[in-house]
């Protein structure tokens, strides 16, 4: 069964002014679509892998045939990362975290502002393209970053949420001002979805 590009859960303009309409169209319809297309192409000659989810494919990259491992790592990761990314944002999002994730952030990082500073710093310092992440590792929250489209699950770590710091995610509006984009992005985060992902991570899913 071919992997498919998921529809955006809101209109292209719904995250204005934090993320502009043109960026959303480019990011979803061209970049994410290309990851899906290239993942399907890589799996064409391995029918036994075609029924696996993208998460399962990148969870154990060493089991992927060497000739397509790089393509699966990059495009499978891109598909998983972006599918998550659209869901953890929403119109009129943002504000202080709520629920269990709020308590966990306070317990681990002291307060929300200190956490945001640490997370944004990981995004700013990620050289070149990549992602900043909040993850659950050995039962503890941590901030980390990955290069390119690598996802923490390839390291056996549960990603709670991530922010895309590839230039295509912000350059049309913010140009080279990555810190400004990272700071503004908190205005669209969907804490309800983040809490769902946190509960799934705690349950080992």
Taking residues 106-129, what's their average pLDDT?
97
Cβ 140 vs Cβ 181: under 8 Å: no
Q: Write down the pLDDT at residue 205.
A: 74
Q: Which of 143-147, 150-154, 200-204 has the lowest mean pLDDT?
A: 200-204
Mean pLDDT across the chain: 97
Q: In Å, how far from its chain's centre is CA 175?
A: 21
pLDDT cut 70: percent of the chain above it: 100
Alpha-carbon distances, residue 62 vs 57, 79, 204 (angstroms): 10, 19, 21
Q: Report the pLDDT averaged over residues 80-103.
A: 97
pLDDT of residue 1: 63
Residue 204: the pLDDT is: 82
Is 99-202 a domain of CATH 3.55.40.20? yes
The 3-class SS string of 1-31 reads CCCCCCCCCCCCCCCCCCCCHHHHHHHHHHH
Portion of the chain with pLDDT greater than 90, in percent? 98
List the domain boundaries for the chain: 21-87, 99-202
| Structure tokens belonging to residue 40 | 């399907």
Structural class in CATH, domain 21-87: mainly alpha
């Amino acid at each position: 069964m071919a992997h498919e590009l998921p529809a955006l859960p809101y209109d292209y303009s719904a995250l204005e002014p934090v993320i502009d309409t043109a960026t959303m169209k480019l990011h979803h319809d061209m970049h994410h679509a290309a990851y899906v297309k290239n993942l399907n192409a890589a799996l064409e000659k391995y029918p036994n892998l075609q029924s696996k989810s993208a998460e399962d494919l990148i969870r154990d990259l060493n089991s992927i045939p060497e000739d397509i491992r790089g393509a699966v790592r990059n495009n499978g990761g891109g598909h998983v990362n972006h599918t998550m990314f659209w869901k953890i944002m929403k119109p009129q999002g943002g504000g202080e975290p709520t629920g269990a994730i709020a308590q966990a952030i306070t317990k681990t990082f002291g307060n929300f502002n200190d956490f945001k500073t640490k997370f944004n710093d990981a995004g700013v310092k990620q050289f070149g393209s990549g992602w900043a992440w909040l993850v659950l590792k050995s039962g503890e929250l941590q901030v980390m970053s990955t290069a390119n489209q690598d996802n923490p699950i390839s390291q056996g770590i549960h990603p709670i949420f991530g922010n895309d710091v590839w230039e295509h995610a912000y350059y049309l509006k913010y140009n080279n001002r990555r810190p400004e984009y990272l700071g503004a992005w908190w205005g669209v985060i969907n804490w309800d979805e983040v809490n769902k992902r946190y509960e799934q991570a705690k349950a080992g899913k």
